[in-house]
Amino acid sequence: MGAKVGGGNKGGMDEINVTPLIDVVLVLLIIFMVLVPVTVQKMASELPPKDDAAPPPPPPPGAPKQLLVAIYEDNSFALNLVPMDETKLRTELTTQLKGRVKDDKNVFIDGAADAKYDTVVHVIDLARDSGANRVGFADMKDEGPARLTPDQVIQLNAGTLVLPGMPGAPADPAAPAAPAAPATP
Amino acid sequence: MGAKVGGKKGGAMADINVTPLVDVVLVLLIIFMVVTPMLSSGVDVKLPKARTAEEEKDMGQNLVIGVKGDGSIYVDKTKVTKENLVAEIGTQRQNRSLVLKGDKAATYKQVREVIDLIHENIAGTDTMMLATEKIKDGAAEGGN
């Protein structure tokens, strides 16, 4: 019976006043909204010269060769025409960019019209992660980036095809980074 | 019988009224849901992820050009066409720098056409800033 009286007393404590709690929570909310600023993440990408602008001077002889990453419509990659997967591309770019002076640490991106923008940004990110100082877009071509024919890929893997800029290729500093692939046989 | 009465006392104690608390929590939830997408400048798009992007506070110092996954173009929050894109940027720019927010579902061509239009018609746009989303360290790369 004594327990019964005690229970009744506790019943009187039921109505906890939550109004101060609500006040505090609202103030905290406002403080957080002011203190936590929204951020924007951004990456710079260089654009090719305008159509009416003077073309850039050809690279001086002895300049390191340009690095041009092609992104095909199936979202696969090639570095200077050599098809490769992402891991290889990263290794290759890191190797080739190492030891260059800052102004030569450039990578060009040549994307196919139907490539995903997500993939393009991913490659820009990969190039910058590999040490590129500037990443630029190449002019978009209607036919898409140059690519090797399946036969040429077989020759390349067999070591019988020598691309400009590869070890053993004739030095041609004025050659564009992506020589047009020969027509399909 | 005594036990039964004790149970009744216990029932009276459990009577804390949580309704106002629930009301407040729901209102807070709704406020957050409404405000969060509005906090960042420009339209709401799913940004591609990148590791090397520079981070800066978004205080409205950039004019955001948005390209959604379906190819529709926005200047800040105004939907525009390719024809009036440049004029709309001129109206809204007020010396702000431009940032391009492309949806990860867009194609390269859709985004590139907008970049080229801006580059051809607006001076000082030899470099385009592309908005990305930060990859959290340790998280898997968004590789698709």
Domain presence at residue A75: yes
The domain containing residue A111 runs over which residues?
67-158
Per-residue pLDDT at A165 exceeds 70: no
Residue A142 located in a structural domain: yes
Indicate whether A183 belongs to any domain. Answer: no
Measured CA to CA, the distance from residue B78 to residue B42 in angstroms comes to 9
Instruction: Please tell me the predicted confidence (pLDDT) of residue A184.
Output: 39
Cross-chain Cβ contact A86/B143 below 8 Å: yes
Q: Is 60 exceeded by the pLDDT of residue A32?
A: yes
Partners of residue B54 in chain A, C-beta under 8 Å:
41-43
Contacts of A140 (CB under 8 A, 6+ apart): A110, A111, A113, B108, B109, B112, B116
More confident residue, A181 or A134: A134
Residue A55 DSSP code: P
pLDDT of residue A92: 87
* pLDDT at A121 > cutoff 80: yes
Q: How far is A59 from chain B (nearest CA, A)?
A: 19
Assigned domain for A15 exists: no
Distance CA B29, CA A40 (A): 24
| Position A77 in a domain | yes
Structural domains of chain B, with CATH: 2-39 (no CATH), 49-134 (3.30.420)
Say if A5 falls within a structural domain.
no
∠B55-B56-B62 over CA atoms, to 5°?
120
Q: Mean pLDDT, to the nearest integer, of A168-183?
A: 42
Distance of alpha carbon B58 from alpha carbon B41, whole angstroms = 7
Q: Do the strands B54-57 and A39-46 form a parallel or antiparallel pair, or are they unpaired? A: antiparallel
Find which of B27, B35, B59, B107 to mutate to test the A interface (most A CBs within 10 Å of its CB).
Answer: B107
Residue B99 falls in which region: left (phi positive, over 0), alpha (psi -120 to 50) or beta: beta
Check residue B103 and give its pLDDT.
92
Q: Is residue A54 part of a domain?
A: no
pLDDT at position B127, please? 85
Contact A40 B56 (CB under 8 A): yes
Identify whether the C-beta of residue B89 lies closer than 8 Å to the C-beta of residue B75.
yes
Among B19-28, B68-77, B114-123, which stretch is predicted with the lowest mean pLDDT?
A: B19-28
DSSP A73-126: TTS-EEETTEEE-HHHHHHHHHHHHTT--GGG-EEEEEE-TTSBHHHHHHHHHH
pLDDT value for A36: 64
Answer whether residue A180 is part of any domain. no
B82 pLDDT exceeds 80? yes
Q: Where does the pLDDT of residue A175 fall: very low under 50, low under 70, confident under 90, or very high at 90 and above?
A: very low
Between B56 and A33, the more confident residue is: B56
For residue A114, the chain B residues in CB contact (below 8 A) are: 107-109
Nearest 10 degrees: Cα torsion A2, A8, A12, A15: 130
Chain B contact set for A4 (CB, 8 A): 5-6, 9
Q: Do A114 and B108 touch (CB under 8 A)?
A: yes
Number of domains comprising chain A: 1
